[in-house]
Chains A and B, each alone.
Chain A
Amino acid sequence: MAETVFSRPQALADVTTHYCPGCTHGVIHRLVAEVVDELAVGDRTVGVAPVGCSVLAYNYFTTDFHEASHGRAPAVATGIKRARPDLMVFTYQGDGDLASIGMAEIVHCANRGEKVTVVFVNNAIYGMTGGQMAPTTMPGQVATTCQLGRDVEQAGHPIRVAELLSTLRTPGFIARGSVHTPLLAVNAKELLRRAFTYQKEGTCFSLVEILSTCPTNWGIPPAESTAWLEENMLPYYPLGIFKEPEGRDRAPLPAPGG
């Protein structure tokens, strides 16, 4: 009798996605779905889908979903969670959505300490709209709106979201992972598990930034894109945990007596 050792998570819909070959959205979707299943919260989980490549995420998960306008997923998640604190609420956002148009919403959602989980997929480019420069695009990286490469004199340097948010005093869990190797994918799942668990226990806001490939808009074959990520993104976007709710946050404390 054959034993099933690998199957589709319940929280993941049995459909074909529209994602390009070599894109890691599919892997990240699966990791989120596995965590939802393992925590047994699928029947009380509500996702918030952004504008961007994962705009159709509500078709790929079996959980209830809200589609949000561009950048506003953390505000929508706040509304859901405040209305129904018993629900598990997660947003799934790209870097254009979260780090550009939605920067105000993510900062204040984190600062209020909303008990929601943000899955932040950073592939250093706008995907859905066709490869424009993102706030996370690397210096010198070519995009359709910086065809000579990102000029930091004009566009500034890439924004490190996990580091930026970890300066907030409000307790939270903030980490960065990647899924471009199997081992790192396992680590990323562990970060997601911790993030969802903090929410389940009502502990704090949680955000996991996950580095992702975009062969189509990077203009390189899928097999080379993991190497590109490793060589170009990893040194600038280090993996790890940047903030934990148990008092190990990096934000400077007020001066004594001040």
Chain B
Amino acid sequence: MAKKLMKGSEAIGEAAVQAGCRLFFGYPITPQNEIPEYMSMRLPQVGGRFVQAESEVAASNMLYGAAGTGERVMTSSSSPGVSLMAEAISYLAGAELPVVIVNIMRAGPGLGGILPSQGDYFQATKGMAHGDFRLLVLAPWSIQEAADLVQDAFDLADFYRNPVMIVGDGLIGQMMEPVEFTDTREPIKKLEPKTWAATGNPGDRPNNVINSLFLDPEALERHNVKLKAKFDSMVRDEVRYAEYRTDDDYDLLIVAYGTVARVCSTAIDELQEQGLKVAMIRPITLFPYPFRAVRDAALKANQVLVVELSAGQMIEDVQLALEGSRPIHFCNRMGGMLVSPDEVVDKVRAIVDGQSTEVSHG
């Protein structure tokens, strides 16, 4: 298939369709409305169904019901809407249902604003909702990567029987870039038939129940142990990251993800032209976080700079990865303000000139 210029939101929707998603449940919230709008038009063309729910609470529970039939299903929302879905996401993880959830993050807290942010890192990777569970979290830095990751997300969700979240921001949603869908994409995982789906009991088996309720504490602990083993296998097998200009020696390593990493790559090109040796590692999976890769890359540098559109969320994982072995500096904007390449350049120069204070470890 030839490359096509697509808006991020449309590419995300089309990628889901290409991956076999035939059901979408959503509720309007800026800045992700183009995803449900695209799906409302596209899904009927391929025999699928789109439902505009009465709320994110309902949309996420429709997702739960539809996923329980074994079909490939998706929703998308933005930060406040994802908070409303949090309860259902806990149930989805507890009941081991494969779904794909897209969060086009906007600035918070509260109603916040509609402009880009990475303020939901903690929510996505650590504290989505009640109970012991994890989401597999993927963070694209381009429209092509968003399209690829959405397709992978359906395979990963099916393989692990767990919700997978794609986190982007308004830039990913609104940018237009060339995207290519391959005609011959194969699943990235070996997928088993969904014999657990609740689609009617033929009478020759116990009834299939989609459920997260275990009133017997011993049974619930066994369930939790099983889930933990699953999250551990994600940590073992699913870590993804990319490196930028790490082939040559470097003095300073930038750690950034998503669109912020795009900004940083521009800054790094400029800094290299100025003769400064700077490289970047970019986590693609935020859970599982590439702790070892970040550490290994950081140990080749003298200084580390974390760049985020938040008050400092991913930086805590960088601190965990480095265990104090390298000084960590921080460059950020919040509230929907973006970090510019110039700000990153200035920050790196300040670090090199000894004019930047490393972040406190508390």
Please give the residue numbers on chain A whose beta carbons come within 8 Å of chain B beta carbons, in ascending order.
10, 13, 42-46, 48, 55-56, 58, 61-69, 72, 75-84, 87, 104-105, 107-108, 112
Residues from 50 to 102 in B contacting A, C-beta threshold 8 Å: 51, 53-55, 57-59, 61-69, 71, 73, 87-88, 91, 95
CA distance A69 to B61 in the complex (A): 8
- Which residue among B53, B55, B61 has the maximum number of chain A CB atoms within 10 Å of its CB? B61
| Total A-B contacts with CB atoms under 8 angstroms apart | 134
Given the complex, which residues of B lie within 8 Å of A48, measured CB to CB? 65
* Interface SS, A side: helix
Asked, given contacts A61-B207, A66-B68, A79-B62, whether A105 binds B201 with beta carbons under 8 Å apart, the answer is no
A111 to chain B, nearest CB (A): 9
Given the complex, which residues of A lie within 8 Å of B88, measured CB to CB? 69, 72
CA distance A42 to B207 in the complex (A): 11
CA distance A77 to B68 in the complex (A): 10
The 4 closest A-B pairs by CB, nearest first: A79-B65, A75-B61, A79-B66, A76-B65
- Is the beta-carbon distance between A82 and B210 smaller than 8 angstroms? no
**Contacting residue for B202 out of A43, A84, A105, A108, CB 8 A:** A43
Residue in chain B with minimal CB distance to A46: B198
**Contacting residue for A76 out of B54, B61, B213, CB 8 A:** B61
Show 16 residue pairs from A and B whose CB-CB distance is below 8 angstroms, ordered by the A residue: A42-B203, A46-B69, A65-B209, A67-B211, A67-B212, A72-B57, A72-B64, A75-B62, A79-B63, A79-B66, A80-B65, A81-B65, A83-B69, A105-B58, A108-B53, A108-B58
**Contacting residue for B211 out of A44, A58, A84, CB 8 A:** A58
- Is the beta-carbon distance between B199 and A46 smaller than 8 angstroms? yes
- Is the beta-carbon distance between A43 and B200 smaller than 8 angstroms? yes
Residue in chain A with minimal CB distance to B59: A75
Residue in chain A with minimal CB distance to B65: A79
CA distance A58 to B54 in the complex (A): 27
Residue in chain A with minimal CB distance to B25: A79
Given the complex, which residues of B lie within 8 Å of A76, measured CB to CB? 61-62, 64-65, 68
- Which residue among A42, A46, A83 has the maximum number of chain B CB atoms within 10 Å of its CB? A83
**Contacting residue for A80 out of B69, B87, B212, B213, CB 8 A:** B69
Given the complex, which residues of A lie within 8 Å of B53, measured CB to CB? 75, 78, 108
B214 to chain A, nearest CB (A): 11
- Is the beta-carbon distance between B55 and A63 smaller than 8 angstroms? no
**Contacting residue for A104 out of B55, B64, B73, B212, CB 8 A:** B55
Given the complex, which residues of A lie within 8 Å of B25, measured CB to CB? 79
Given the complex, which residues of A lie within 8 Å of B208, measured CB to CB? 64-65
Asked if B49 is an interface residue, CB under 8 A from chain A, the answer is yes
Given the complex, which residues of B lie within 8 Å of A56, measured CB to CB? 213
Asked if B239 is an interface residue, CB under 8 A from chain A, the answer is no
Residue in chain B with minimal CB distance to A112: B51
Given the complex, which residues of A lie within 8 Å of B63, measured CB to CB? 79
Asked if B297 is an interface residue, CB under 8 A from chain A, the answer is no
Given the complex, which residues of A lie within 8 Å of B209, measured CB to CB? 58, 64-67
Given the complex, which residues of A lie within 8 Å of B203, measured CB to CB? 10, 42-43, 62
- Is the beta-carbon distance between B198 and A55 smaller than 8 angstroms? no
B301 to chain A, nearest CB (A): 47
Asked if B23 is an interface residue, CB under 8 A from chain A, the answer is yes
The 8 A CB mask of B211-254 against A (1 = contact, 0 = none) is 11100000000000000000000000000000000000000000
Give chain B's interface residue range (CB within 8 Å of chain A).
Answer: 35 or more
Asked, given contacts A58-B207, A62-B201, A64-B207, whether A105 binds B54 with beta carbons under 8 Å apart, the answer is yes
- Is the beta-carbon distance between B202 and A79 smaller than 8 angstroms? no
CA distance A43 to B199 in the complex (A): 9
**Contacting residue for A64 out of B59, B71, B87, B201, CB 8 A:** B201
CA distance A159 to B216 in the complex (A): 35
Given the complex, which residues of B lie within 8 Å of A69, measured CB to CB? 61, 87-88, 91
CA distance A227 to B249 in the complex (A): 87
A170 to chain B, nearest CB (A): 14
Asked, given contacts A55-B213, A72-B88, whether A64 binds B199 with beta carbons under 8 Å apart, the answer is yes
**Contacting residue for B95 out of A62, A63, A67, CB 8 A:** A67
- Is the beta-carbon distance between B65 and A75 smaller than 8 angstroms? yes
Given the complex, which residues of A lie within 8 Å of B57, measured CB to CB? 72, 75, 104-105
- Is the beta-carbon distance between A64 and B91 smaller than 8 angstroms? no
- Is the beta-carbon distance between A77 and B65 smaller than 8 angstroms? yes
Asked, given contacts A58-B211, A82-B66, whether A104 binds B23 with beta carbons under 8 Å apart, the answer is no
Given the complex, which residues of B lie within 8 Å of A62, measured CB to CB? 201, 203, 207
A122 to chain B, nearest CB (A): 22
CA distance A13 to B58 in the complex (A): 30
Asked, given contacts A44-B200, A87-B199, A104-B58, whether A82 binds B49 with beta carbons under 8 Å apart, the answer is yes
CA distance A61 to B95 in the complex (A): 19
Residue in chain A with minimal CB distance to B63: A79
Asked, given contacts A58-B211, A69-B88, whether A79 binds B200 with beta carbons under 8 Å apart, the answer is no
- Is the beta-carbon distance between A68 and B200 smaller than 8 angstroms? no
Residue in chain B with minimal CB distance to A107: B54
Asked, given contacts A69-B61, A72-B61, whether A83 binds B23 with beta carbons under 8 Å apart, the answer is yes
CA distance A83 to B48 in the complex (A): 8
Residue in chain B with minimal CB distance to A69: B91
B98 to chain A, nearest CB (A): 13
CA distance A44 to B199 in the complex (A): 7
Q: Given A56-B213, A63-B201, A75-B58, 18 other A-B contacts at CB below 8 A?
A: A42-B201, A58-B211, A63-B207, A64-B198, A64-B208, A64-B209, A67-B212, A68-B65, A69-B61, A69-B88, A76-B61, A76-B62, A79-B69, A83-B49, A87-B69, A87-B199, A105-B58, A105-B61
Asked, given contacts A67-B212, A68-B64, A82-B23, whether A104 binds B201 with beta carbons under 8 Å apart, the answer is no
